[in-house]
A and B are shown apart, each in its own frame.
Chain A
Amino acid sequence: MVMDIRYSAETAESHDAKTGGDAIVPHMKILVIEDDLEAAAYMTKAFREAGIVVDHASDGESGLFMGTENSYDVMVIDRMLPRRDGLSVISELRKRGVNTPVLILSALGQVDDRVTGLRAGGDDYLPKPYAFSELLARVEVLGRRKGAPEQDMVYRVGDLELDRLSHEVKRAGKEVLLQPREFRLLEYLMKNAGQVVTRTMLLENVWDYHFDPQTNVIDVHVSRLRSKIEKDFDKPLLKTIRGAGYMIKDEG
């Protein structure tokens, strides 16, 4: 069965990756609804190591109860659950006015499964097997969405400025010329400044393809972007997080 192939093991190395060194995300509280106890235990431990408070429910009904009674920043919901399936938990939560961002985990992992998952009210979708770094990066981005600078017209990281209206990018007041795609890449990175963004997330949000890019295509684009925004400057802003992805951050 597909369920048996869970996810690739992650070492401690990638665990410090997602924290990005210090605690960017102070107190995030999440709910994990997962019936596979071993997987849930692994997830809970890894999330806690990343400084996230985790509640766990092992079936759909108790998950729905906990999700309605308590307040969470993000919920991670497995699609196939005993007593009430994941999608129905999500739509019931939405019906009850709970608008907490939801990440759907699914062993089905197919293009149309993703669409049905998002249609049911999920906010993000991750097919099994996944790397924990990928899950963590997505949960952190979802958790930040609440207060995300969606309305900000100008993103700032250190002395780097991106104007979403005029599509102008400046570093230390000097204009940086970017291709349209590079602009969108930078925009997405800056929107999630201080957070790890994985290659898959970049392919999804910048190119709108939802699969594992597998090769180094994304890396090449990021390194091009990096050379444009960092070439004449001393301070690096765009960091590569080993085993996870990228992060833009002003080290101050």
Chain B
Amino acid sequence: MLARARLMFRSTAVRLSALYILLFALCAAFLVFYVTAMSERLLAQQTRQTLQEEVLDIQRAYERGGVNLLLRMMERRARQPGANLYVIAGPNGEMLAGNVASVQPGVLDEQGWTAVPFTYEPYSEVDGPRRHLALANVVLLDNGLRVMVGRDLGDPGRFRGLVRRALMVALTIMGVGALVIWFGIGRNALKRIDRMSAASQKIMAGDLSQRLPIGKSGDEFDRLSDSLNAMLGRIEKLNEGLRQVSDNIAHDLKTPLTRLRNKAADALAENREDVRRAALEGIIGESDQLIRTFNALLMISRVEAGSIAAEMSDVDLSAISADSAELYEPVAEEAGLSLATDLEPGLVVHGNRELIGQAIFNLLDNAIKYAGEGRGEPKIGVKLAKTDGAIRLSVCDNGPGIPADKRGEVVKRFVRLDESRSKPGTGLGLSLVEAVMELHGGSLELSATHRDNKEAPGLTVTMVFPAPKP
């Protein structure tokens, strides 16, 4: 029970309700006390005004008819129901006449308004004498008599009791209201949050296809669920991609590892020294290739993780392109193809020179590898130009190209089209280029070099860099 109460208090709705009650109670208390104080002041003011008028009447009566008229008038007035308090006292303050039994000592000594309410005892109380609060004005007549006119302020506890009752009523209403709010809104919200937690538990247990429930109202909770669902979708996709990659890695590394093992077994069984040596050399070549694949994979994942981002600076893309073209020009020539360049000078991007360089090298490697496959004289080209809002670096060839529907495939890790399986390569080149472009906030575009040429459309790979802010 206690645990349940603690749990209940941990819910946001309960805590909010409690906070609201506290706030409302404070406001109500302030309001009640303020209203009370104001009405007390108004009441006192009215009392003083009536007393003042009566005092004037008495003084006038005394001037006109002396003590006799004064006494008669006071007697008449004292008999009326709800009458004021009247006292006539001698010069020494001893009470001579009046409709009260006793007055707080000292009140009759001072002339004028009593500074604070005083106490007195009225006659004829059924349950014995009781002290009452009163306010009074004392007048000194010229024959030495003192006349006091006062007004009962009522039972001192009565007014405060009224206030307290009003406060209690207000608080009760507020408490009930808060409970209603909690039941109506809080519990509803709690239930929905519990449903979301339940769905999350299932997702945590490994079922990434689970989604959070979405209501019809489209309120904050629905919007929250909506974005969480979008996030889950993304995670599921990434997870799927990751699984595909690890499957690919397992598959693509198993093949060379098996080859490696077989070669080692052959070398072991071989007696002739030169053949054994050749086999061992083959093993080294195979393991070097494996290391390259590992390095490329590591590089891609590091680039994708963005860990190189710290090393970004303004780099001269024109210079990098020119250097790369120069580096590959003899290679192209050796492979029997020509390399043409069309580079706009002085184009600067914010990036990592090493990575951009490696990306261009990869593209040039590919272009040289495949340009010879097409018909006609093999050609490759490097083009760098600034178009509106972007800097585009293209490497093109006039090889067999890649069919439009397969272009999205080839940038994936280890994906090699059937036509290229016979050629050396890791199947990671374009993946790295794409990762590099993503790191640079750009993109990678694949298109046909000659769209009209059905035989050998060629491939143009464009690295699109965002133009630096001026």
Interface residue from A9, A211, A215 paired with B331 (Cβ < 8 Å): A215
Given contacts A11-B281, A129-B291, A217-B328, 8 further A-B contacts (CB under 8 A): A5-B294, A11-B284, A111-B311, A112-B311, A129-B295, A207-B323, A215-B331, A215-B365
The verdict on A221 contacting chain B, using a C-beta distance below 8 Å, is yes
The verdict on B280 contacting chain A, using a C-beta distance below 8 Å, is yes
The verdict on A232 contacting chain B, using a C-beta distance below 8 Å, is no
Q: A212 touching B292 by the CB < 8 A rule?
A: yes
Q: A9 touching B307 by the CB < 8 A rule?
A: no
User: Which residues of A lie under 8 Å from residue B419 when comparing CB positions?
Assistant: none
Q: List the interface of chain A (C-beta within 8 A of B).
A: 2, 5, 7-11, 13, 109-112, 115, 129, 131, 181, 207, 209-217, 220-221, 224, 243
Residue of B nearest to A115 (CB): B311
Interface residue from B280, B291, B328, B352 paired with A11 (Cβ < 8 Å): B280
**Majority SS of interface residues in chain B?**
helix
User: What is the bound-complex CA distance between A214 and B358, given in angstroms?
Assistant: 11
Q: B310 touching A112 by the CB < 8 A rule?
A: yes
**Majority SS of interface residues in chain A?**
loop
Interface residue from B288, B302, B334 paired with A220 (Cβ < 8 Å): B334
Q: B284 touching A109 by the CB < 8 A rule?
A: no
User: Which residues of A lie under 8 Å from residue B292 when comparing CB positions?
Assistant: 212, 214
Q: A110 touching B284 by the CB < 8 A rule?
A: no
User: What is the bound-complex CA distance between A115 and B312, given in angstroms?
Assistant: 12
User: What is the bound-complex CA distance between A181 and B322, given in angstroms?
Assistant: 12
User: What is the bound-complex CA distance between A213 and B358, given in angstroms?
Assistant: 9
User: Which residues of B lie under 8 Å from residue A109 when comparing CB positions?
Assistant: 295, 298
Q: A181 touching B331 by the CB < 8 A rule?
A: no
- Contacts A214-B292, A220-B331 given; indicate if A112 touches B284 (C-beta within 8 A): no
Residue of A nearest to B323 (CB): A207
B341 to chain A, nearest CB (A): 15
User: Size range of the interface on B?
Assistant: 20 to 34
User: What is the bound-complex CA distance between A13 and B284, given in angstroms?
Assistant: 11
User: What is the bound-complex CA distance between A214 and B368, given in angstroms?
Assistant: 14
Q: List the interface of chain B (C-beta within 8 A of A).
A: 277, 280-281, 283-284, 287-288, 291-292, 294-295, 298, 302, 307-308, 310-311, 323, 326-328, 330-331, 334, 352, 354-355, 357-358, 361, 365
Q: B330 touching A224 by the CB < 8 A rule?
A: yes
User: What is the bound-complex CA distance between A211 and B299, given in angstroms?
Assistant: 11
User: What is the bound-complex CA distance between A221 and B326, given in angstroms?
Assistant: 10
User: What is the bound-complex CA distance between A220 and B308, given in angstroms?
Assistant: 31
- Contacts A217-B328, A221-B330 given; indicate if A10 touches B354 (C-beta within 8 A): no
Q: B294 touching A10 by the CB < 8 A rule?
A: no
**10 residue pairs, one from A and one from B, having the closest CB atoms:** A220-B330, A112-B311, A8-B287, A220-B331, A111-B354, A209-B357, A129-B291, A220-B334, A217-B331, A8-B288
Q: B295 touching A217 by the CB < 8 A rule?
A: no
User: Which residues of B lie under 8 Å from residue A215 when comparing CB positions?
Assistant: 331, 361, 365
User: Which residues of B lie under 8 Å from residue A2 when comparing CB positions?
Assistant: 298
- Contacts A2-B298, A215-B365 given; indicate if A110 touches B330 (C-beta within 8 A): no
User: What is the bound-complex CA distance between A11 and B298, given in angstroms?
Assistant: 26
Residue of A nearest to B369 (CB): A215
User: What is the bound-complex CA distance between A46 and B205, given in angstroms?
Assistant: 52
User: Which residues of A lie under 8 Å from residue B361 when comparing CB positions?
Assistant: 209, 213, 215, 217
B142 to chain A, nearest CB (A): 109
Q: B358 touching A209 by the CB < 8 A rule?
A: yes
User: What is the bound-complex CA distance between A221 and B330, given in angstroms?
Assistant: 7
A-B contact pairs, 14 of them (CB 8 A): A8-B284, A8-B287, A9-B284, A9-B287, A11-B280, A11-B284, A109-B298, A110-B307, A131-B288, A207-B323, A211-B358, A213-B361, A217-B327, A224-B330
User: Which residues of A lie under 8 Å from residue B334 when comparing CB positions?
Assistant: 220
B279 to chain A, nearest CB (A): 11
